Chains A and B, each alone.
Chain A
Amino acid sequence: MRALDRKLLRDLRRLWAQVLAIALVMAAGAATLILGIGAYDSLFQTRERYYIDNRFADIFANVTRAPLHIARDIAAIDGVRTVETRIVKLALADVRGMAEPGSVQIVSLSETGEQKLNALSLVNGRLPSSGTSLEAVANADFAKAHKLVPGDKITVLLNGRKTVIRVTGTALSPEFIYVLGPGDLMPDPRRFGVLWMRVDALAAAYGLEGAFSEISVKLDAGMPQEPVISEIDKRLRRFGGTGAHGRKDQVSHAFLDAELEQLRAMSRVLPPIFLVVSAFLVNMTLLRMITLEREQIGLLKATGYSSRSIAWHYIKFALVVAAAGVIIGAIAGTWLGHGMAQLYARFFSFPYLVFSRDPSIYAIAAIITLAAAAVGALRAVSSVVFLPPAVAMSPPAPARYRQWLPVDWRMPRIMDTRAILVSRHLLHWPWRLASGVAGMALACAILVGSLWSMGSLEKVIDITFYKSDRQDASIQFTTKRPISALHDLRGFPGILRAEPYRAVPVRLRNGTAERRVALMGRPADADLSRLLDTGLNKVALPTHGLVLSDALASILGVRVGESVQVEFIEDSRKVELVPVSGIVNGYLGLSAMMDLTALNRLAREQAVISGVNLKIDPTRTEALFDRLKQTPVANFIVLQKTALKRFRETLAQNITIMVTVYAGLAAIVAFGVVYNFARISLSEQARELASLRVLGFSRGEVSGVLLTELAVVVALAQPLGWLTGYGFAWLMVQGFSSDLYRVPLVVERGVYAYSSLIVIAAAVVSAFIVRRRIDTFDLIAVLKTRD
């Protein structure tokens, strides 16, 4: 083996702890890169393949009732490849063993059994037999939650009539990868499922023979959506069409997309942090190593080695460290990736989920990590490589400590010798101090940036569930009902308070800007569900005029006092000009609200309501649910507090994992930075410290010098870390803000405290390891002057 390589191995063995610390930081970077890209890749590819295999449609449109021949017109539109019509309805379900009423989305299967679009993947059992049989296939999660096997029966209020449906099998569909009931926060497979029935049976139940209520369209490759969507809208308008939409407004697809975006963000934000820190560390370590080995380098050069091979030797050192990091990171990343895949399997119903083992991911991670190491090394190496041998071999000139403050500023007597030692040493290498502080600050910032969301989430939950929408349950009616439905509901067992609401789909237009929203009407004395602005002030709905959320107002470009055009898209197609009486800051992006009476007057209808918000006595829920299950006019019942409970449970599970992972990562970075800093500082001041020991200072006092230095670095890093962490949080809030919702930026005091505590704990651990080294100084060896 070549001599330099042997030296390399010896150096590695000698400095194994530092090397390990740096390798761990690099591993963290590589792991998050592999995880992020890998998970993104597998999710993306799985979704693409699933969509293609099962012919997921591109455009979806709902109508009230349209005759089947319209489908031929739509198929004739330019760019449309395939068209399929279906009947899709929402209905209440009563499953044995569940007290609360659940709901099912019922989707029709054509009578020929051929599924042109949105094909099912049958998991077990068989498709329902043709004709008007009351059989159905359930989606896998719902079946699993209720332990349904082929042959079981469930009762469904099909168009208000109690119908017993037999489950013949379970299936998965690309349309329902993420199954979310209307008004729910998270998927609750117990309370919401999907049933596929034969179209004849559904048509008979809903009076839709020869008609359809939903149409799916697949476009030719490369065809843009907008022109086709507007053509479809034109044809479906008179059948109660509420507007066709593409995949991005389809619930399941939208959630998957959001998840992919998060993964992509994660793979873009975290790895650079780790790799930058590790580049710093490599730089620091190599610099120190090279400075220590100045004489050896001079000797090597004198004996004939070229500058290039010496430089290459040191770069190899960095690359070996990086390689170790990549290997550790690859293993960790793969293992974490499997864990993530399992997490996905819980929420997303894929028939297969492949964790992409594309070697290019690993290759990319490896290259990036090695590149970071090389960059760190180059800078260090370039400083010394060009020294002439003779200069290199002579002992280095002692460091010059000069007064660099222009003013003669006497330190007050508070600072003792130790303090002077520390501050002098730190300030002599300001760049090293800066990089150490920066590294620690980043560790702290990682924690702040990942822990803040919990407090923010709690605040959103508090505002949403206990300040503005406090109802225990909401009943959504199939179609609008007269207000006497409210009085009837008040007589149900266990209802403490009932408040009506009305939701009308409208299109708001101002000039060229338009948006389709649900215009909500609330009674003036609403207490359960009311409007709050971000200052948590109650907003009273004016007796006429709209109140818009500020996001919507800015999209439409209207101000208070101006008018906006309201087009009713459901029944009457009326267009009215309504003044905007107020604009509200809210967390839910696009909302438009009016007083209930005013809304009914605007729609020229006598008092009608779309649903009722309820406050329920928790001891009477069984009796209440029994009655509700037999209410033909409801098609969905949102149980807010149940949903919240489930949300909190899921969140609790995820938070533990998240906190552990992020705390681990931050601890690795903190440990690595402090350890390397300490080791380098120690080797620089070895002579001074040994001298102090010889002079009679105790081990504690001597190590105190070094530990104070570390303490200063850590202390300086905290405020910077808090600030940077706040910056991360701010960036994330901007990233989350969209049309749909906005997240409040609330970073609680405790977040800063916990982040610092974790980072400081990691620093303390590494400091004590270094202290042990001081205690085991070989004083004589240290004090020997090398010649």
Chain B
Amino acid sequence: MRKLIAILAFIGAAALLAWALWPQPASVELGRVEMGPFRLTVEAEGKSRIREVYTVSAPVPGRVLRMNLHAGDPVKEGQTVATMTPATPAPLDARDRQMAEARRDAAQAAVDLAQAQVQQSNVQLGLAEDEFARAQKLAKQGLIPDREYARAESTLKQAETAVASAAAQLRVRLGELQSASALLDGNAPATTDCCISVTAPASGTVLRVASESEQVLAAGMPLADIGNPLDLEVVADVLSQDAVRVSVGQHAEIMDWGGPAIAASVTRVEPSAVTRVSALGIEEQRVPVVLDLATSASSPEALGHGYRVTARIVVKDVPQALVIPVAALFRRGERWFTFVARGNRITATEVLLGEMNDTLAVATSGVIAGDAVVLHPNDTLDDGDAIVPLDTR
């Protein structure tokens, strides 16, 4: 009897000891390997922009009258956007004025000289005409040699051309006088031709007015931007090494603009990259990629021109693939492993992977659909350990 008790006590103590020292199962979070969609995406920051923006600019140098247009106003094609009048000429300073006055006086003197010359040539013409008339009379009677007659004729002709030339000279001098006077006249009153209308080249909404106030502009200075804000596209600056995988026609999502995600598709990948300093302070080559917003609904009215957006372009979309959470993967050397939980024990299993995005990886071998795998395994876990799954919902 005593022996029995002793043996029982001993067994009891041993059992207690074993129970106390038995390694406790580790608590782990489990995920699943399953057949599901897999997407590889490229994310980049971008801006929304109106597809066609028309910049209306001053066609000629002149004064633009105060514009009544404001950003947001609708315009129609051909509607007057701005009215321009010729600008007033610049005023003269003292030295210029003296020079202009001197020039005018000189011109006036030249006119007087020309007029005197006209008179002089007229007088000579009169004399030549008289001589010719006499010569004619005498020639008719045969009293003068032919040479005299010819000489009188040519003298007359010369005198006529001299008169014409003096008259022309007088006109030239008169013109010069007019020009020299005009310089001094300052703000001449408005000339007859009033205004030039600058019209909108297309219908749409005014996006931006360069400056409302009346001002004098050189030719080519922008006046206003016009575009159709419902016709938007997005241009995203994609890193050049990511842009390699982007091609026309891929689907994308426009996010982080303040509203729900908008579907879009890639319409153009520009062939050359630009250098940009990234937010990390490093210079990078970026490729502008143009995305069209899905036309099922016209662009949501809330999205405007130049708004910051994030574009997520789907470069690979596999509807059904065997995917394993990336959180379950760990490396041993160069190989990928995961802990597969069967019952309440885990086994380290090598997996071969295909593509990987930031949450899922495509498993090509090593696991099957439905396997439970340990997420973020603790570094003390080992093959064959007991586990108890944790519900971190």
Chains A and B belong together in one complex:
yes
A423: shortest Cβ distance to chain B, in Å? 15
B29, B280, B356: the one contacting A488 at CB < 8 Å is B280
- A481→B45 CA distance, assembly (Å): 14
- B279 near A484 with CB under 8 A, answer yes
- B377 near A491 with CB under 8 A, answer no
- B43 near A487 with CB under 8 A, answer yes
Tell me which residues across on chain B come within 8 A of A752, comparing CB atoms.
20
Q: Tell me if A359 is interfacial: C-beta within 8 Å of chain B.
A: no
- B24 near A749 with CB under 8 A, answer yes
Tell me which residues across on chain B come within 8 A of A482, comparing CB atoms.
45, 279
Q: Tell me if A510 is interfacial: C-beta within 8 Å of chain B.
A: no
A617: shortest Cβ distance to chain B, in Å? 7
- A458→B378 CA distance, assembly (Å): 11
- A615→B256 CA distance, assembly (Å): 24
Tell me which residues across on chain B come within 8 A of A749, comparing CB atoms.
19-22, 24
- A748→B280 CA distance, assembly (Å): 47
- A618 near B393 with CB under 8 A, answer no
- B242 near A532 with CB under 8 A, answer no
- A490→B312 CA distance, assembly (Å): 13
- A414 near B256 with CB under 8 A, answer no
Q: Mark A445-468, 1 if CB is under 8 A from B, else 0.
A: 000000000000010001001110
Q: Mark A659-671, 1 if CB is under 8 A from B, else 0.
A: 0000000000000
Q: Tell me if A288 is interfacial: C-beta within 8 Å of chain B.
A: no
Tell me which residues across on chain B come within 8 A of A160, comparing CB atoms.
281
Closest residue of chain B to A715, judged by CB? B13
- A498 near B5 with CB under 8 A, answer no
Interface size class of A (residues with CB under 8 A): 35 or more
* Chain B contacts with A in 342-367, Cβ cutoff 8 A: 356, 358-359
Q: Tell me if B17 is interfacial: C-beta within 8 Å of chain A.
A: yes
- A414 near B5 with CB under 8 A, answer yes
- B44 near A633 with CB under 8 A, answer no
Tell me which residues across on chain A come within 8 A of B193, comparing CB atoms.
none
Tell me which residues across on chain A come within 8 A of B27, comparing CB atoms.
462, 536
Tell me which residues across on chain A come within 8 A of B19, comparing CB atoms.
749
B5, B356, B380: the one contacting A496 at CB < 8 Å is B356
Q: How many residues of B contact A (CB 8 A)?
A: 43
Closest residue of chain B to A620, judged by CB? B331
A-side binding surface: helix, strand, loop or mixed?
mixed
Tell me which residues across on chain A come within 8 A of B26, comparing CB atoms.
462
A498: shortest Cβ distance to chain B, in Å? 7
A655: shortest Cβ distance to chain B, in Å? 14
* Chain A contacts with B in 495-524, Cβ cutoff 8 A: 496-498
Give the number of A-B contacts (CB < 8 Å). Answer: 106
- A617→B5 CA distance, assembly (Å): 59
- A467 near B282 with CB under 8 A, answer no
Q: Tell me if A630 is interfacial: C-beta within 8 Å of chain B.
A: yes
- A467 near B392 with CB under 8 A, answer yes
Tell me which residues across on chain A come within 8 A of B284, comparing CB atoms.
488
- A586→B187 CA distance, assembly (Å): 83
Tell me which residues across on chain A come within 8 A of B93, comparing CB atoms.
none
Q: Tell me if B341 is interfacial: C-beta within 8 Å of chain A.
A: no
Q: Tell me if B241 is interfacial: C-beta within 8 Å of chain A.
A: yes
B20, B242, B280, B376: the one contacting A632 at CB < 8 Å is B280
- A95→B227 CA distance, assembly (Å): 55
A465, A470, A485, A641: the one contacting B280 at CB < 8 Å is A485
- B278 near A485 with CB under 8 A, answer yes
Tell me which residues across on chain A come within 8 A of B21, comparing CB atoms.
749-750, 753-754
* Chain A contacts with B in 200-228, Cβ cutoff 8 A: none
Tell me which residues across on chain B come within 8 A of A641, comparing CB atoms.
379
- A487→B242 CA distance, assembly (Å): 11
22 chain-A/chain-B pairs, Cβ below 8 angstroms: A414-B2, A416-B2, A458-B380, A462-B26, A462-B27, A462-B378, A466-B379, A483-B45, A484-B44, A485-B278, A485-B279, A487-B43, A487-B45, A488-B279, A490-B358, A497-B326, A537-B391, A537-B392, A634-B280, A644-B379, A753-B17, A754-B21
User: Closest 6 CB pairs between A and B?
Assistant: A753-B20, A485-B279, A632-B281, A484-B45, A749-B20, A497-B358
A-contacting residues of B (Cβ < 8 Å)?
1-2, 5, 17, 19-22, 24, 26-27, 29, 43-45, 239, 241-242, 256, 278-282, 284, 308, 310, 326-327, 331, 334, 356, 358-359, 376-380, 390-393
For the complex with contacts A483-B45, A749-B19, A750-B20, 12 further pairs of A-B residues with Cβ separation under 8 Å are A470-B327, A481-B280, A483-B279, A487-B44, A490-B358, A496-B326, A536-B27, A537-B392, A615-B326, A619-B334, A631-B280, A754-B21
